[in-house]
Structure 1
């Protein structure tokens, strides 16, 4: 069910068919960071890789269907007790593919490294 706070023309779609792409894109950025090729960030000796979890995916879909942009508090599972979130909000570029739109959002998230150092 979708919240009443959603606009009447809101459209939702599942990312399930894009999960391999999303995981690879996140891990590509993760590898850059772990390998020490990101300015002002030291290499990591034990940084886990990103993987897809269907339970976390389901919980994130519930957050989206609230139509209130922001991190939610209900995102942990029995398996992942301290999970984090990446969130993005955009106007969907209908000229581009779903993959290009997703890549843009993942890149914007990753580029936040410019505001940190390690």
Structure 2
């Protein structure tokens, strides 16, 4: 997120206004409900009044190893998500982004 915001990726422009991410208990609760279904699917019940356009990043890891550390699993899953950045480009981001009326896009 910070690399994108600062424009440190040569294939994406620097963000004009990329606010910091923060934890939200309501979104965490909805994510937990989705996770408890044990199905790696996006669900329709993921928005809240505060965040009406939230998204989901879903990944799975299957292993028969009993010695996998939670920290290692999380690192590997986040790395896989980050590696998907090559599938995005500035044109795609611009097409998907719909700013509110009081936001100026540079």
What is the TM-score when the length of structure 1 is the normalising length? 0.68
Q: How does 1:41-80 map to 2 (within 5 A)?
A: 41-80=12-51
Match of 2:75 in 1: 103
Deviation at 1:95, TM superposition (A): 3.4
Q: Secondary structure at the match of 2:84?
A: helix
The gaps in structure 1 that reach 5 residues or longer are 1-29
Higher relative contact order (CA 8 A, sep 6+): 1
Deviation at 1:94, TM superposition (A): 4.2
1:116 counterpart (88, 97, 100): 88
Aligned equivalents of 1:108 and 1:48: distance in 2? 23
Deviation at 1:115, TM superposition (A): 1.0
Larger Rg: 2
The gaps in structure 2 that reach 5 residues or longer are 91-106
Which stretches of structure 1, 4 residues or longer, exceed 6 Å deviation after superposition?
Answer: none
- CA RMSD across the alignment: 1.6
